[in-house]
A = this chain, B = another copy of it.
Amino acid sequence: MSDSMLAVVKAAPAPGADVRQVAVPSFGPADVLVKVKVASVCGTDLHIYKWDQWAQGRIHPPLIPGHEFCGHVAAIGSEVTTVKEGDFVSAEMHVACGKCYQCRTGEQHICQNVKIIGVDANGAFAEYVVIPETNIWKLDSSIPEEYASILDPLGNAVHTVLAGEIAGRTIAITGCGPIGLFSIAVARASGATKVFAIDVNEHRRKIAEQMKADFVLDPTTQDAFSIVMDQTNGVGVDVVAEMAGKTDAIRLGFQVLRRGGRMSLLGIPSRPVELNFADDIIFKGALVQGINGRVMYKTWYQMTALVAAGKLDLHPVITDRMAMKNFSQGMERLQTGEASKILLYPNGRM
Please give the residue numbers on chain A whose beta carbons come within 8 Å of chain B beta carbons, in ascending order.
81-82, 99, 101-102, 104-107, 109-110, 112, 158, 162, 165-170, 186, 189-191, 193-194, 233, 235, 245, 250, 258-260, 265-270, 272-278, 281-292, 296-298, 301-303, 305-306, 308-309, 311
Q: Which residue of B lies closest to A308 (CB)?
A: B193
9 A-B pairs closest in CB distance:
A168-B302, A106-B106, A167-B190, A288-B288, A190-B191, A110-B285, A193-B309, A193-B305, A281-B290
A196 to B290, CA, bound (A): 24
Minimum C-beta distance from A293 to chain B (A): 9
A190 to B166, CA, bound (A): 8
Contact call A282/B266, Cβ cutoff below 8 A: yes
Minimum C-beta distance from A183 to chain B (A): 12
Contact call A282/B272, Cβ cutoff below 8 A: no
Asked whether A260 and B107 contact (CB < 8 A) given A273-B277, A285-B290, the answer is: yes
Residues of B within 8 A of A269 (CB): 277-278
Contact call A191/B168, Cβ cutoff below 8 A: no
A313 to B266, CA, bound (A): 34
Sample of 6 further A-B pairs with CB below 8 A, known A166-B191, A193-B311: A101-B233, A107-B260, A167-B189, A269-B278, A273-B277, A285-B291
Residues of B within 8 A of A162 (CB): 165, 167-168
Asked whether A101 and B235 contact (CB < 8 A) given A107-B259, A169-B305, the answer is: yes
Residues of B within 8 A of A302 (CB): 167-169
Minimum C-beta distance from A253 to chain B (A): 12
Residues of B within 8 A of A82 (CB): 99
Residues of B within 8 A of A292 (CB): 282-285
Tell me which of A169, A250, A303 has the highest count of chain B C-beta atoms within 10 A of its own C-beta.
A169
Tell me which of A191, A258, A278, A308 has the highest count of chain B C-beta atoms within 10 A of its own C-beta.
A191
Residues of B within 8 A of A245 (CB): 278
- Out of B186, B282, B309, which one reaches A291, CB within 8 Å? B282
Tell me which of A194, A277, A287 has the highest count of chain B C-beta atoms within 10 A of its own C-beta.
A277
Contact call A268/B278, Cβ cutoff below 8 A: yes
Asked whether A191 and B306 contact (CB < 8 A) given A167-B166, A274-B274, A290-B284, the answer is: yes
Residues of B within 8 A of A277 (CB): 250, 265, 269, 272-273
Residues of B within 8 A of A170 (CB): 305
A288 to B289, CA, bound (A): 6
Minimum C-beta distance from A25 to chain B (A): 22
Minimum C-beta distance from A134 to chain B (A): 8
